[in-house]
Chain A
Amino acid sequence: MDSEKIKKILLEKFPEKIEEKEVCDFSPAFDVDKDIILEVCRFLKESQELSYNLLSCMVGVDRGDGFEVIYCLFSFSQKHKLTLKVPLPKDNPEIESVTPIWNAANWHEREIAELFGIKFLNHPDPRGILLPEDWDEGYPMRKDWEGKDFVRLPEKK
């Protein structure tokens, strides 16, 4: 299905909660309100004409003034793509876990939670994944993170 049609379906179903964005090579892309993420994801997977069955990737981003969680979806049957972007506040970032919809989200969410300090609500297994068990130096992927051996290199001219 082409991007225009997907956009139309989503805007009709979730008016005022969705805004179009641009991601090269994985379009269409939308900003989604964090309160409805579970509802949107369930619709995307279960709807016959969309049937996004593959969660290809999940990305956490520190935007400086807030966080963002990005979902890259793909459908094997319809062969179309979709990127969902969910902005989160800087203080106390929380979002509903999508693991009940795609099991692939499980490890991705554990990774984002550990590296960015974003809390995934109702996650079935909220342990860390990549960092050492006794890690106590905060959330290393945040832009304002200071580690004892970490040196930020100056911008080259």
Chain B
Amino acid sequence: MGPQHPSTHGVCRFVLKMDGEQIVNLVPHVGYLHRALEKIAENRTYLQYIPFTDRIDYVSSMFCNQGFCLAIEKLAKVEVPERAEYIRVIMMELNRIASHLIWLGTFALDIGAVTPFLYAFRERERIMDLFEMVCGQRMTFNYIRIGGVSRDLPSEFIPKAKEFTDYFEPKVDEYEYILTNNPIFLARTKGIGILPKELAIDYSVTGPNLRATGLKWDLRKDEPYSIYDRFDFEIPAGQNSDTWDRYMVRIKEMREANKIVRQALDQMPEGDFKKRVPVLFKPPAGEVYTRVESTRGEMGFYIISDGTTKPYRVKLRTASFSNLAVLPEITRGCLIADLVAIFASLDVIMPDVDR
């Protein structure tokens, strides 16, 4: 199956050993999108590398920007102005919604429901417009910088974003109305692809996939970075850790993200949007490992600085890499048609795996 298969969401190949319709063994082959981003990092200055981080996970680029900048800020002890923190949170949570919408659309499409795809992309378009207004880009934003963000919000952004949060809330009900209790959807997802909690932890599965097993673990809540401790939001969790639970966790996360955006817009202070740092930024020699809660789970950056303008080593710990590694375990004994549903429900992005 693959590498050019419509449901592999990128370029991924599975070698399947079948017994009739049942999967006996599955071996994923990855690396088709390997762009050597870690090697490139050793050859670029810190600022030059930010656009490359966009390409790690192109549907939630804000988290990659934020993770990289946050790691350097911690290493070099750069203080970020309050307004910049709020802008970052708004951008990240909008990005989370946009990314979950892509996931929802393609997931539903994979199991045969075409309508949610059109609905999801309709709402996502509005978020893309907001991003375009702020940084001129609809994807690969290159917006977050060391010490802040690249430019301030335009004056029309806040009313437009508020309008979006009000508009979006009832739209989630619409998705739920077509999917959540739909008998065909239930038959394809309930009790399918069960990922037990111990197995998930053993394979370092994080993010919504881990929360669907019932473990309420979210770095935003449990280890708040940036200003996440100032917002009131819930961490949704599942019970049966099946495909349906993974769907439900993401649906609820969209609502919570919307809540955070609304609170952040209300609390937004005036002030600087960026602390001035030199273009040829030199963090002190040292090592740092920082994780942020991206759409797909823990996104970690291990950065080793030798005090020069270029990093000595950058390791990208991406959530999809670990989330995909568990797939052979949970598809053993499943029907081949369910593989598509399970794989889609893990929300793996191939460039995120291959880097």
Classify the interface of chain A: helix, strand, loop or mixed. Answer: loop
Q: Across the interface, do B202 and A102 meet the contact criterion of CB distance under 8 Å?
A: yes
A61 at the interface (CB under 8 A from B): yes
Please tell me if the beta carbons of B286 and A156 are within 8 angstroms of each other in the complex: no
Q: Tally chain B residues at the interface, Cβ within 8 Å.
A: 42
Interface status of B109 (Cβ within 8 A of chain A):
no
19 A-B pairs, CB-CB below 8 angstroms? A23-B288, A24-B74, A25-B71, A25-B74, A25-B288, A25-B289, A26-B288, A53-B201, A62-B313, A79-B223, A83-B289, A102-B204, A129-B31, A130-B31, A130-B34, A140-B36, A153-B44, A155-B310, A156-B280
Interface hits, A49-73 → B, CB 8 Å: 53-57, 59-62, 70, 72
Contacts of A70 in B (CB 8 A): 302
Task: Judge if B160 is at the interface, Cβ distance under 8 Å.
Answer: no
Say which residue of B223, B302, B304 sits within 8 Å of A57 (CB atoms). Answer: B302
Bitwise, B279-301 to A at CB < 8 A (1) or not (0) is 01000001111110000001010
Q: Which of B44, B45, B302, B317 has the most CB of A within 10 A?
A: B302
Evaluate contact between A129 and B74: CB separation under 8 angstroms. no
For residue B79, CB closer than 8 A to chain A, the reply is no
Across the A-B interface, give the 4 residue pairs with the lowest CB-CB distance, nearest first: A104-B204, A57-B317, A26-B289, A24-B288
B321 touches A107 (CB 8 A): yes
CA distance A79 to B325 in the complex (A): 24
B161 within 8 A of A: no
Q: Tell yes or no: A106 within 8 A of B by CB.
A: yes
Nearest chain A residue, comparing its CB with the CB of B280: A156
Cβ-defined contact, B289 with A106, below 8 A: no
Q: Is the CB of A132 within 8 A of B31?
A: yes
Q: Which of B39, B222, B289, B302 has the most CB of A within 10 A?
A: B289
Check B180 for interface membership: any CB of A closer than 8 A: no
Shortest C-beta distance, B2 to chain A (Å), equals: 15
Give min CB distance, B64 to chain A, whole Å: 15
A121 within 8 A of B: no
Q: A56-B291, A130-B30, A153-B43 are in contact. Are A72 and B302 (CB under 8 A)?
A: yes
- Partner pick for A55 among B43, B71, B204, CB 8 A cutoff: B204
Whether, in the assembled complex, A22 has its beta carbon less than 8 Å from a beta carbon of chain B, the answer is yes
For A96-134 the 0/1 string (1 means CB < 8 A from B) is 000000111011000000000000000000001111100
CA of A104 to CA of B30 in the docked complex: distance in angstroms?
16
Known: A72-B289, A104-B325. 9 other contacts (CB 8 A): A25-B289, A26-B289, A29-B287, A59-B302, A103-B203, A128-B31, A129-B30, A130-B30, A132-B31
The smallest beta-carbon distance between B12 and chain A, in angstroms, is 12
CB proximity of B101 to chain A, nearest CB, Å:
28
B189 to chain A, nearest CB (A): 25
Interface check B215, CB cutoff 8 A:
yes
Q: What separation, in Å, do the CA atoms of A60 and B45 have in the docked complex?
A: 21
Instruction: Check B322 for interface membership: any CB of A closer than 8 A.
Output: yes
